Amino acid sequence: MAICDLAPDPGPIQSGRMIRVLAVESAKTYFDTNVSDHHHFLVAETGELVDIPAHDIALGRLPEPPPGTAIERVDVIVRLGKRN
């Protein structure tokens, strides 16, 4: 996982499928150099993203998309906090 705050417009890199943009919170954007199918843990205390292999997440049912659209992919972000 690479975090970068330097690229004001990642469009050219993103359109070349070299990175995947993850808007986790409105104040922070992550640029992921791993463009394979996978998901993420988000460590709340540090802001660190940790990859989760796609096969470790099982989705049982998705809603029907609105007319004229199709689901391209599903991004799962599992937010982690300290254990009490």
* Residue pLDDT, tens place only, 2-16: 445 445 555 555 455
Output the DSSP codes for 50-84. EEEEGGG------PPPPTT--------EEEE----
22 exposed, middle or buried (CB, 10 Å; 0-12, 13-18, 19+)? middle
pLDDT at residue 51, as a whole number: 94
* 9/19 Cα distance (integer angstroms): 12
Three-state DSSP state, 15:
helix
pLDDT tens for each residue of 22-71: 766 667 778 888 888 899 999 989 988 899 999 999 988 999 999 999 99
Whether the full predicted model's pTM is greater than 0.75, yes or no, is no
